[in-house]
Structure 1
Amino acid sequence: MGTKIVAVYENGVLRPKKKLNLPAGTEVELIIRPSLKGLIKLFEGVEVKKDAESALNETRERKLWE
């Protein structure tokens, strides 16, 4: 069973954008990845001077996401 949530990272804490229906003390496992909105913001102002495949390969090498 799993639930997808959206959270914001602020001051060292992940804060869910919506209230979670979990009992206090429930342990959960997280997979962290930027949202599409976050990726778009990450690439704001970046010009692609080569073909798209080369640009994607460069970002993979810089490990902006995995």
Structure 2
Amino acid sequence: MRPATLVFSSVRDLHWTGQSVNKPAIDASGSADFGSVDFLARLDASHKIVGDWCEINQQSDAPSLSIHLAPTP
């Protein structure tokens, strides 16, 4: 598994529901861990993103994905 960054540019509208329900876990390094994206779909002119941190529905340009190099041991 490698880390990645997903960027949504020019967000025009955003609705984030349920964020007060789930609190982040604390990982081994002491950082907040908000989990992963479980579902991502384009629905007409918007994107729906669901994960451990709840649900976001937003309108933006198409997302870009950058997969980072694996860390060296």
TM-score normalised by length of structure 1: 0.25
Larger Cα-atom Rg? 1
Decide which structure has greater helix share: 1
TM-score normalised by length of structure 2: 0.24
Higher-RCO chain (CA-CA 8 Å, sequence separation at least 6)? 2
Decide which structure has greater strand share: 2
